[in-house]
Structure 1
Amino acid sequence: MIEVKNLHKSFGDREVLKGIDATFENGKTNLIIGQSGSGKTVLMKNLVGLFDPTEGEVLYDGRNFVTMSKEERIAMRREMGMIFQSAALFDSLSVLENVMFPLDMFSKMTHRERVKRAQACLDRVGLIQAQDKFPGEISGGMQKRVAIARAIVLNPKYLFCDEPNSGLDPKTSLVIDELLHGITEDFNMTTIINTHDMNSVMGIGDNILFIYNGEKEWVGDKTMVMESTNEKLNDLVFASDLFKKVKAAYVKR
């Protein structure tokens, strides 16, 4: 579990995060949503230590990441997996070698053990048959699945995903969502997804934090989204005609 307490972040005179309190639970897909410029990306960067908060706490199962020493933070990051907006794969490495990379860097496994572990993760994302290909030889959706395999290869407690469906078609996005949700449940990870994909909100939103203008505006799950009377949330989630019709049909039930 990750807890955020009274988190503030300013850049000069501009306050971007204004006292965020949030809890991200184990075994659930925790989504951060908000309009562009709302502060959701800044929040995630504070969670993983790319930014230091101006004020507040970030607690990893009770351990305050903000006050940790450099050495303690390095050790903590080994408990984290990250999936970037771009898959961020190494073009010169094969799919298998990309997934093995964290093991090569941080594990004490033998080469055979590292290969076996990487192959198991590729099998989990349905890409064992692509292990000898290079990133340029596979589709964007497959690249994202390789990135997921790489992110879980060290068996992290915490998984961070920055716009994992960016640039993907709706069908492939659904595959990625279901994969992230399944892995989160299987490994009881604390998964945090920064997203603008409202299909993800309605599909895998176990716990949703809606940020508006740097403040926590609303918290709930995908069922509560359908029942919400928060106008700012409804304007974001139900902007499309399709979602408006879904909301209207739900309300009439």
Structure 2
Amino acid sequence: MIEIKNLCKSFGDKDVLKDISTVFESGKTNLIIGQSGSGKTVLVKNLVGLLTPTSGHVLYDGRDFVNMEKKEQIMLRREMGMIFQSAALFDSLTVLENVMFPLDMFSSMNLTDRIKRARFCLDRVNLVDAEKKYPAEISGGMQKRVAIARAIALNPKYLFCDEPNSGLDPKTSLVIDALLHSITHEFNITTIINTHDMNSVMGIGENIIFIYEGKKEWQGISADIMNSTNERLTDFIFASDLLKKMRAAVKGKE
């Protein structure tokens, strides 16, 4: 579990995050949504230590990340997995070598055990047969699955995903969503997903935080969205006329 208490972040005289308090739950897919410029990315950067909050606290299972010594922060980061928007694989390494990279850097396993762990992770994302290929030889969806395998290689307690479906077709996006959801539950990970993908929101949104102009505007689950009376949330979710008509049709059947 990650708990945020009264988190604020300013750049000069511009307040980007404004007194945000919330909880990201273990074993659930926690989604952060909001318009571009709302503060989502700044929030995640504060969570992982790429930025330091102006005030407030970030608690990892009760451990205050903001006030930790640098050595303690480094140790805690080893409990985090990261999935970047671009997959961020190393072009010169094979799929297997990419997944092994964090194990080579941070684990005390011998080579045999590192290979075994990397293959386990690749098997978990259905990519064992691709272990000898290079990133340029596989599709974008497969690259994202390699990124997931690499992110879970060190068996993280916390998993951060930045727009994991960016650049993917709708069918492949559903595959990535299903993987993230199942892995989160299987390993009881606190998963935080920064996304614009409304299919993800409605499909795997077990705990959704809507950020509006730096503030937490709304929090709930995907099932609550259809009946929400928060106009800012509904304007964001149902931005297109088609989605508005679909929502009206669903509410009309109730």
* Correspondence 1:89-238 to 2 at 5 A: 89-238=89-238
Number of equivalent positions: 253
**Is 1:80 aligned to 2:80, yes or no?**
yes
Shift of 1:240: 2.3
Identity score, percent: 74
Which residue identity does 1:45 align to in structure 2? K
Structure 1 position 40 matched with structure 2 position 40: yes
2:10 matches 1:10: yes
Residue in structure 1 matched with residue 51 of structure 2 by the alignment:
51
2: CA distance, partners of 1:121 / 1:229: 42
C-alpha displacement of 1:229? 1.0
Take 2:77 and 2:249, find their aligned partners in 1: how far apart are those partners?
44
Q: CA RMSD in A?
A: 0.7
- Code of the aligned partner of 1:230: N
Matching of residues 56-67 of structure 1 within 5 Å: 56-67=56-67
CA offset digits 1:37-58 (Å, max 9, x no partner):
0000000000000000000000
SS in structure 2 of the partner of residue 227 of structure 1: coil
What displacement does 1:246 show?
A: 2.8
Distance in 2 between residues matched to 1:49 and 1:10, nearest whole Å? 15
Q: CA deviation at 1:247?
A: 1.4
SS at structure 1 position matched to 2:23:
strand
**Which string of whole-angstrom CA distances, capped at 9 and with x for unpartnered residues, describes residues 52-71 of structure 1?**
00000000000000001110
Instruction: Return the alpha-carbon distance in structure 2 between the equivalents of residues 13 and 5 of structure 1.
Output: 21
Partner AA of 2:17 in structure 1: L
Q: Which runs of 5+ in 1 are unaligned?
A: none
Q: CA shift at 1:241, angstroms?
A: 3.3
Quote the Cα distance in structure 2 between the aligned partners of 1:98 and 1:60. Answer: 27
Partner Cα separation in structure 1 for residue 232 and residue 196 of structure 2: 15
Deviations 1:89-126 (A, max 9, x none): 00000000000000001111111110010000000001
Distance 2:204 2:127 in 1: 22
- Give 1:88 deviation, angstroms: 0.4
Partner amino acid, structure 2, of 1:171: K
In 2: Cα distance, 1:163 partner to 1:132 partner: 27
> Aligned pair 1:247/2:244, yes or no?
no
Distance 1:250 1:150 in 2: 40
Secondary structure of the 1:58 match is strand
Q: Specify every segment of 5 or more residues in structure 2 that has no aligned partner in the other structure, as ranges.
A: none
CA distance in 2, matches of 1:111, 1:244: 55
Q: Which amino acid aligns with 1:113?
A: D
Deviation, 1:250, is 2.1
